[in-house]
Structure formats: structure tokens, C-alpha cells
A and B are shown apart, each in its own frame.
Chain A
Amino acid sequence: MATPDDSEVLKAPYALQYTYTRSTGPVLGHFFAGLMAGRVLGARTATGRVLVPPAEYDPDTGEAVEALIEVGTAGTVTTWTWVDAPAESAPLSRAFGWALIRLDGADTAMLHAVDAGSPERMATGMRVRARFAAEPRGAITDIVCFDPVEAS
């Protein structure tokens, strides 16, 4: 009954998959609504700092933030890394840069993808601008990625 391959260990692919539905809360709820409208909202704290993405509480003091305000859709890369082989779940299917981007008017940086084409086009201090999705659905993916802004 035994066959030559009987000593081999069987292997099979197995995917563990689940979709969580998260409530957003009042601050992120408006942040995502802003993204749907092509605008980026930050949270202003009592000390005047602007957090993007917005938090409900000032991480320095623990106090509730004071207001949601609009910031720019362009900003500056503060640090970055390059992804040569994007994973299935990556925002872009071609090689891209992950970057911390401080949007104009914000005091904190936000992690997002930069579609720079090659790592030679990435630099700390480079200017980038958000590319919004054609069909927004109220999620961080409403910003498809950021595009480099060429110096004029």
C-alpha cells in the first residue's frame, strides 16, 4: 500500500482572514469624512500643536484636543524607507517608498506611501502631494499615495 512518496510531509496553503469593523470615534470619523472630500483635518491641542493624523487626546498632556482644523494636502518627507517588492496588502503594487510626511500646517508626521518610481528620487526634506482616490470610501486609502512635487 505504501508508495515512494509516503515519507514526504504534506504541506498546504492556509489563509487566516477576518475583517474587523471598527468604530472611529468623533475625531477620526471627521478625519475620514474629510479625506472623502479631498481635505485633510488635524487636531489642534491646547498648546497649539496640530496633530495629523488627529488624536482625541494630546499625547503630551492627556488633555482632550481643542479643535479640528484643516491642513495642507502637500507636505515634507521627514524620513523614509524603500520597498522593492511590495506585499499583497501594500498600497501600491510597484516598488514605492514608505515615508513619514509632515503636511503643511501640521506638527506631526503621518505614515504613507510615496510613488517615487525609484529610491534615487526619495530624499528627506523632499516635497510631496497627496493623490486622492477617484472613488473615496471614507478610509485612509482615500489617499492613494503621495506624489513627489518637482522643484520649479
Chain B
Amino acid sequence: MSIPPTPAGPALEFDPPLSPVMRIDCPVRLDYTIAAGREQSRFLRAMSRGHLLGRRCPECRKVYLPPRGTCPRCGVMTAEDVEVQPRGTITTWCVTNVPYEGQVLELPYVTASVLLDGADLPFYFLIQGLPADQIRMGMRVEAEWADTLGPTLDSIRCFRPSGEPDADPASYAEHV
């Protein structure tokens, strides 16, 4: 008996014959310790109290959420905490139809960039409470907080349609 011939040339004879291993699993794992930084630590602590805390640039007056220590547009330190409302407008969205490793949500599901009222930077959230094919730009949504709050983004379970009329496209055109 011999193993199948290979491009490497004549194969060595084995009894019983060897059957080549076609694939191997190569697990890759990197363990990090993430430091949130000063501003985002304040943001996460505020979430554990049910508040959304942004940060305003003293020059262009834009409010960043998640907050940044410096304004990427003006290059100056942000100086002022600003509370942002847990409701906003969908600027862009994505419907996920294809399963993937580690997926826990029921398909199809919707994620969207939400421009929170009082913020100038859209934030990515899970959207629940409507059929995936009804998601649209300009839709108004509000946060559903988790039962237990903590210094984590999981403090907001998802956003749901608020029932308000759709926002005027001009109100978010600069943020798409």
C-alpha cells in the first residue's frame, strides 16, 4: 500500500496507507489590557449613572460623543462636558443577514449610526423594535437602557423607534 502520489514525487509506502491531513486549525489570540483614557473613563462612569456625556471643542463648538480629549478638527483640548440626550436620528444603517462565528443576535438585525440630540458625531448602536426592511435614514430612535447599569456600553441595550416623525434631512446632512 502506498500513500497517494504527491507533487513532491514518489510517495513513501505505508501500511496502512496514510491519508493526508488537508487542513489544520491555527488559533490566534492576543490578550490586551485596554485603558479607556481620561475622557472616555468619565463617559463610561456617566453611563453607569444613566447619562451620556460628550465633550465640546471650545473653538468649533462641536460636541464629541464618545468624548475626545482634543478636537481632531481644531487641534485644541476639549474643555467642557456636555450631556447628550439618549435619543437621536439614524444617519446610516446596516442590515446583517449572514451568520458569522460568535454571532448571538437573531438574523436579520440592524445596526445604525445614530446622531444623538446634542452631539455632532454619530455613534453606532444596535436597533431593535422594527422589521429590518423598515429601517431608514432620518428615523428617530431612543435608547433602551439595560436593567443593570455599569461603566460599559452594554448599559444601553439598544435603540428603538421613538415614534416621532422622521427628521428633516437638512438636520443631519452634515453628519452622514
Interface digits, B23-62 against A, CB 8 Å rule (1 contact, 0 not)? Answer: 1111111111111111011101100010000000000000
- Chain A residues closer than 8 Å to B165, beta-carbon distance: none
Closest A residue to B49 by beta carbon equals A1
Report whether B30 and A20 are in contact in the complex, using a CB–CB cutoff of 8 Å: no
- Chain A residues closer than 8 Å to B29, beta-carbon distance: 15-18, 89
Interface digits, A1-40 against B, CB 8 Å rule (1 contact, 0 not)? Answer: 1000011111111111111111110111110111011010
Report whether A17 and B28 are in contact in the complex, using a CB–CB cutoff of 8 Å: yes
Interface of A is mostly: mixed
Which bucket holds chain A's interface residue count?
Answer: 35 or more
Q: State which of A7, A13, A27 has its C-beta within 8 Å of the C-beta of B8.
A: A27
- Chain B residues closer than 8 Å to A65, beta-carbon distance: 8-9
With A and B bound together, what is the CA distance between A39 and B12 in angstroms? 12
- Chain B residues closer than 8 Å to A56, beta-carbon distance: 7-8
With A and B bound together, what is the CA distance between A24 and B28 in angstroms? 17
- Chain A residues closer than 8 Å to B10, beta-carbon distance: 66-67
- Let me know if B131 is at the binding interface, CB within 8 A: no
Report whether B12 and A22 are in contact in the complex, using a CB–CB cutoff of 8 Å: no
- Chain B residues closer than 8 Å to A77, beta-carbon distance: none
Q: State which of B18, B23, B32 has its C-beta within 8 Å of the C-beta of A14.
A: B32
With A and B bound together, what is the CA distance between A11 and B23 in angstroms? 38
With A and B bound together, what is the CA distance between A89 and B21 in angstroms? 23
With A and B bound together, what is the CA distance between A34 and B27 in angstroms? 22
Report whether B31 and A12 are in contact in the complex, using a CB–CB cutoff of 8 Å: no
Q: State which of B25, B34, B44, B49 has its C-beta within 8 Å of the C-beta of A19.
A: B25
- Chain A residues closer than 8 Å to B40, beta-carbon distance: 10
- Let me know if A123 is at the binding interface, CB within 8 A: no
Decide yes or no: A11 and B21 within 8 Å by CB, A6-B45, A22-B26, A26-B8 being known contacts.
no
Report whether A64 and B7 are in contact in the complex, using a CB–CB cutoff of 8 Å: yes
- Which residues of chain A from 48 to 91 have any CB-CB distance to chain B below 8 Å in the complex? 54, 56, 64-70, 89
- Let me know if B19 is at the binding interface, CB within 8 A: yes
Report whether B8 and A33 are in contact in the complex, using a CB–CB cutoff of 8 Å: no
CB distance from B34 to the nearest CB of A (A): 5
Q: State which of B9, B18, B33, B36 has its C-beta within 8 Å of the C-beta of A37.
A: B18
- Could you write out 16 A-B pairs with CB less than 8 Å apart? A6-B45, A9-B35, A14-B32, A17-B30, A18-B28, A20-B28, A21-B25, A21-B26, A22-B24, A24-B24, A27-B7, A43-B8, A66-B10, A68-B3, A68-B8, A70-B12
Which residues from chain B sit less than 8 Å from chain A, CB to CB? 3, 6-12, 14, 18-38, 40-42, 44-45, 49, 151
Top 5 closest pairs, chain A to chain B, by CB: A29-B20, A138-B21, A32-B21, A26-B6, A33-B18
Extra A-B contacts (8), CB below 8 Å, given A32-B24, A139-B21: A9-B37, A9-B41, A13-B34, A18-B27, A18-B29, A23-B22, A24-B24, A138-B21
